[in-house]
Chain A
Amino acid sequence: GAVVSQHPSRVICKSGTSVKIECRSLDFQATTMFWYRQFPKQSLMLMATSNEGSKATYEQGVEKDKFLINHASLTLSTLTVTSAHPEDSSFYICSASRNRGAQGTEAFFGQGTRLTVV
């Protein structure tokens, strides 16, 4: 399968600071990337859809000013958690869609980032 690299895998930050998470598609170009949040023993909750060169589309209830998404190139999307609070502590996962032409698209996931806000 294709490789999607997410960095960092773990981060601990102080309350009120900002944290940036990077998501890179290493061996394919991804016009669309997705950011998810996952709580313990729960499913993935889509936060936003990131399209290269345009503004991200946020799901209902997700604060766009708090979770800043930038998709500057076809291989890189970033999620910045601004003014982090302990309730933002979670497992954040990105995915990148690879277009397979007539076979449609496939989504590949990064390894996730465990964010802990203290």
Chain B
Amino acid sequence: QQQVKQSPQSLIVQKGGISIINCAYENTAFDYFPWYQQFPGKGPALLIAIRPDVSEKKEGRFTISFNKSAKQFSLHIMDSQPGDSATYFCAAASGTYKYIFGTGTRLKVLA
């Protein structure tokens, strides 16, 4: 019940295209859903996050869509760029601050 399932494992997108990464969770106690971007040899960097009281949040080219009834949330990267090539992790957390991470998605954006 503590798992966060992330898909796909890897993704190849053409420059300018839309990258979509999906996550699903079971524990309804989770109330915070961040996305992190990680480049090789670096720590994860917070991209964008959402709470269950909204269904969508947009920051620049990044959008989180949240479906509370389905217990799913997704990251959309609009106008994907080669510089977006990285590994993306979704996570879920509750008031204990403990984060449960998805398995990661390796995104490659072709120039």
* A interface residues (Cβ-Cβ under 8 A, vs B): 1, 4, 6, 32, 34, 41-44, 46, 49, 91, 93, 95, 97, 104-112, 114
**Interface residue SS majority, chain A:** strand
In the complex, are the beta carbons of B104 and A107 less than 8 A apart?
no
- Given known pairs A97-B97, A107-B34, A109-B36, the reply for A44 and B45 (CB within 8 Å) is no
CB distance from A117 to the nearest CB of B (A): 18
Q: Which chain B residue lies CB-closest to A94?
A: B43
CB distance from B109 to the nearest CB of A (A): 18
- Given known pairs A104-B31, A112-B43, the reply for A43 and B89 (CB within 8 Å) is yes
In the complex, are the beta carbons of A43 and B102 less than 8 A apart?
yes
Q: Which residues of the partner chain A approach B104 to less than 8 Å between Cβ atoms?
A: 41-43
Interface string of B27-45 (1 = CB under 8 A from A): 0000110101000011111
Q: Is B54 an interface residue (CB 8 A)?
A: no
CB distance from A12 to the nearest CB of B (A): 15
CB distance from B8 to the nearest CB of A (A): 14
Q: Which chain B residue lies CB-closest to A2?
A: B46
Q: Is B51 an interface residue (CB 8 A)?
A: yes
Q: Is B103 an interface residue (CB 8 A)?
A: yes
In the complex, are the beta carbons of A105 and B97 less than 8 A apart?
yes
Partner of B32, one of A6, A105, A109, A110: A105
Q: Which 9 A-B pairs have the closest CB atoms?
A: A109-B43, A112-B43, A111-B43, A109-B44, A97-B97, A43-B101, A43-B103, A44-B101, A93-B43
Within 8 A of A (CB), among B92-110: 93, 95, 97-99, 101-104, 106
CB distance from A42 to the nearest CB of B (A): 7
Once the chains are docked, how many angstroms separate the CA of A107 from the CA of B100?
12
Once the chains are docked, how many angstroms separate the CA of A83 from the CA of B99?
29
Q: Which chain A residue lies CB-closest to B89?
A: A43
In the complex, are the beta carbons of B45 and A1 less than 8 A apart?
yes
